[in-house]
Structures are given as structure tokens and as C-alpha cells.
Amino acid sequence: MILWNIWLTQDYFEKQNTILTYSAVISKAYQKEEVISYEKWSECQNYYTNPENLDFLYSIPVTLAILALREFSDDISRRTET
Amino acid sequence: MSIETIAKAIGSILQDTYSRNYGLSKGFNLMEKEIALSSYHLLMRYADNDEDKNEIIATMIHMLSAPFSDHEIDKITQYVREIFFKQYPDEAKRVWLALIKYSNYKKANPSFYRYQDEDSLNKAEENEEKFVQQISSDKNLTLDLSEISLEKSEAYLLARAFVITPYDTDDKDFSNFLNHILPIVIGDLTKVEDYSYNRTRESRKFHHESISDIEQYLANLFLEANFENSKSIFTTLVNSLSGNAQRQRFGRDDLFEFVSTTLDYFVLKLYDNGNLKIDP
């Protein structure tokens, strides 16, 4: 039981870490501190497609969506907008 | 998909704000509130038909009339005035004109708490939404200054229209509006504040929050607008005190406070801008 809890905690922290890493990439691109490629943007978008990866406090899907409209106007309207 | 994500978030934010944040919605991350509410110019870029454009305009009217907190409304109005108006002047002017028309509607159809039963409340809400949709899709709205007064318009909406008015354009509608509305604000500040819901005709209509927004706005206008445009506004503001020789003997003199605070802000912003390079 104790061992199970340790694994659970480790999983939890790993997931939080991934969520925060994606948020940092998106945030820096939004602030124009770093350039984001279309491939990286797609990777973030795919990650957020799974509702389990959406954290109420730390995920920033709206910022990612705005980034799409701002940075990849042609690309994204052609490939993902319906 | 991206547009849908943003529209959904804005919808949740407005719903939460109108319900005074009673239930903490999980429809959006709070950190993204400001980002979502300053994305209308991006949404407009992708709106390729009138229906979508009208929808964006209607959402902006709802946003500009929503009970956001002071610091939030400051950012919202600044965004509309400085970014949205510059990128989409025609659509922004439609928002501005519609907001003024909405202030007439709200004055003629006061708040929902007056309705006693659910049916009439629902009907009133439905009618109001229909009106917002109608003014949002009307491309032929015009400015009619004779319809703008505290007898005919709801003050807090007029104040919101005031502080989104751009001051660096040649469109005379904006300067005419500013020159029309400032004397109304000044006149109102000589009336007595009345905190009860039963507002008499003679009591103050502009709330403190609105006045504070207007003070900030005017200071920015004096700092940034062409002097030809701001001269008459400046003169009206300063002269308002000389015409008001009978100062209030007790309590605060709110008109005096308004003029002096506006000029203080102007000087402070000028100082910050010159010395600290802080944007106004």
C-alpha cells in the first residue's frame, strides 16, 4: 500500500511537470520571448486534446489557441480550422 | 478549433461575471481571463462573413456592460480603445455606437430585479438579448447627441462608452461625443450622491467607479491627443470650477475633486513618462 502511494505520487509529479513544461513553452511564445514552430504548437495542441492533460490551474489552452491565430494564420486556418 | 476554444472561454468568462462569480466556473483558467478578453481583433481577422462579425460585436457589448472589477475594466477599455479601434476602426465604431444605443435601452428598461415573477423576467431577458443582437447587426447606426442625456441613457454604460472613445482620429463623431458628454458628467458631479436603489431624478447618476475611469481616461487624452482635439475638453474641464462659485460647504466637493484628480493624474503620467519611461 505504501509502495503504491509512492508510485502514485511520482506519477502525479511527473504529470504536473509535463503540464508545466508545456505551459512554459506556450507562455514564452505568447510573450514573444521565444519563437514557437508550427510543429511544437501542434505537439502542445495534441497534448491538450486529451482532457486528462488539462489542468484547471496550470494548463493554458486559450493562450495556445490565441497563439495559433496570431502566429500561424495561414497554416492553421488551412490545416485545423473547420 | 482555436476560434472555438477562445469563443467558449470568453462565453464562460462573461457568464461568470454576470453571475458575479458566485459559482467558480471551470470553463477557463483564471490566468487566461485577460488574454482571452483581448483577443477580439484576432477573432475579427478570421470572421469572413457578416454573421460572425455581428456575433463578435454582440459579445463585445456584453463584455463592456458586464460588472467586471475596476482593474479588469481598466484593461478591457484600454484594449478596445488602443488595439481593437486601431485594427478594426469600422467594427469598433459599431461597438461604440451600439453601446450608446444600449444605454438608452437600459434606461427605458431598468434592471431585472424589478420583475416579480420568473416568466416576465425571462421575457425581459429575451427582449434585451434580441435588442443587443439587433444593434450588433445594424451597420447604419448613427450618433444622435440629442438621445444622449442622463434622462435618456443609463449612466454606467455611457461612462463605458466615454472611456473607449478614441481620441486620435479625425472622425468628428468622437470629438463631438466627448464635448457633449463631459458637461453632462460635470453637471452630475454637482448633484448629491444617493446610495439607495430608489434614485430620484436629482440624485447623482455616475458612480464613483465610473468617475475614476473617466479621470484616468482624460489624463491620457491630455497627454496623447492632438492639442487641437483636446483643447476644448481641457477648457470645459477647467472652466467648470469657475462657473460653480457656490462651493459645497459640507462634505466633499466632488466636482473639485474630479478636476484636481484628473490634472494630478495628467502631471503624474507626464512625470512617469518623461522620467521613468512608463507607458501611460
Shared domain check, B124 and B208:
no
Where a domain ends, among B143, B159, B186? B143
- Low-confidence residues of chain A, pLDDT below 70? 1-8, 74-82
Identify the band that residue B275 occupies on the pLDDT scale cut at 50, 70 and 90. Answer: low
For chain B, what is the domain count? 2
Range of the domain at A52: 2-79
Asked if residue B279 belongs to a domain, the reply is yes
Nearest beta carbon to residue B2 from set A30, A59, A81: A81
CA torsion sign for B221, B225, B226, B228 is negative
Which residues in chain A are closer than 8 Å to B52, comparing Cβ atoms? none
Distance from CA of A77 to the nearest CA of B (A): 9
Per the prediction, chain B carries an average pLDDT of: 87
Residue range B85-98, pLDDT digits in tens: 999 999 999 999 99
Shared domain check, B247 and B136:
no
Identify the band that residue B271 occupies on the pLDDT scale cut at 50, 70 and 90. Answer: confident
Q: Closest chain A residue to B37 measured between Cα atoms?
A: A62
Shared domain check, B126 and B21:
yes
Residue range B159-177, pLDDT digits in tens: 999 999 999 888 999 999 9
Cβ contact, residue pair A69, B35, below 8 Å: no
Give residue B118's pLDDT. 80
Nearest beta carbon to residue B36 from set A57, A62, A73: A62
End-to-end CA distance of chain A: 48
Cβ contact, residue pair B45, A82, below 8 Å: no
Question: Considering chain A, what percentage of its residues have pLDDT values greater than 90?
Answer: 51
Shared domain check, B196 and B86:
no
Residue range B23-42, pLDDT digits in tens: 566 667 888 889 999 999 99
Shared domain check, B94 and B22:
yes
Shared domain check, B117 and B36:
yes
Asked if residue B9 belongs to a domain, the reply is yes
Cβ-in-10-Å burial (0-12, 13-18, 19+) of B136 comes to: buried
Asked if residue B156 belongs to a domain, the reply is no
Shared domain check, B81 and B10:
yes
Identify the band that residue B252 occupies on the pLDDT scale cut at 50, 70 and 90. Answer: low
Cβ contact, residue pair B6, A62, below 8 Å: yes
Question: Considering chain B, what percentage of its residues have pLDDT values greater than 70?
Answer: 86
Judged by CB atoms within 8 Å, which residues 188-217 of B form the interface with A? none
B110 contact partners, CB below 8 Å, separation of at least 6: none
Which residues in chain B are closer than 8 Å to A62, comparing Cβ atoms? 5-6, 9, 28-29, 32, 35-36, 39
Where a domain ends, among B143, B176, B200? B143
Across the A/B interface, how many CB contacts are shorter than 8 Å? 57
Nearest beta carbon to residue A81 from set B3, B26, B29: B3
Shared domain check, B190 and B118:
no
Shared domain check, B120 and B206:
no
Could you give the CA distance from residue B46 to residue B90 in angstroms, rounded to a whole number? 16
CB of A61 within 8 Å of a chain B CB? The answer is: yes
Which residues in chain A are closer than 8 Å to B1, comparing Cβ atoms? 65, 80-82
CB of B13 within 8 Å of a chain A CB? The answer is: no
CA B257 vs. chain centroid, Å, equals 21
What's the complex ipTM? Answer: 0.78
Asked if residues A62 and B32 have their Cβ atoms less than 8 Å apart, the reply is yes
Asked if residue B149 belongs to a domain, the reply is no
For chain A, what is the domain count? 1
Asked if residue B220 belongs to a domain, the reply is yes
Residue range A2-15, pLDDT digits in tens: 555 655 677 788 88
Q: Tabulate helix, strand, coil % of chain B (nearest 5).
A: 70, 0, 30
Mutation to test the A interface, candidates B2, B52, B56, most A Cβ within 10 Å: B2
Shared domain check, B178 and B125:
no
Range of the domain at B236: 167-280
CB of B2 within 8 Å of a chain A CB? The answer is: yes
Shared domain check, B33 and B96:
yes
B164 contact partners, CB below 8 Å, separation of at least 6: B64, B77, B80, B81, B85, B95, B96, B99
Shared domain check, B132 and B2:
yes
Mutation to test the B interface, candidates A30, A31, A60, A62, most B Cβ within 10 Å: A62
Residue range B51-84, pLDDT digits in tens: 999 999 999 999 999 998 888 998 999 999 999 9
Cβ contact, residue pair A65, B32, below 8 Å: no
Asked if residue B260 belongs to a domain, the reply is yes
Cβ contact, residue pair B39, A66, below 8 Å: yes
Q: Position B130: which residue type?
A: K
Asked if residue B214 belongs to a domain, the reply is yes
CB of A53 within 8 Å of a chain B CB? The answer is: no
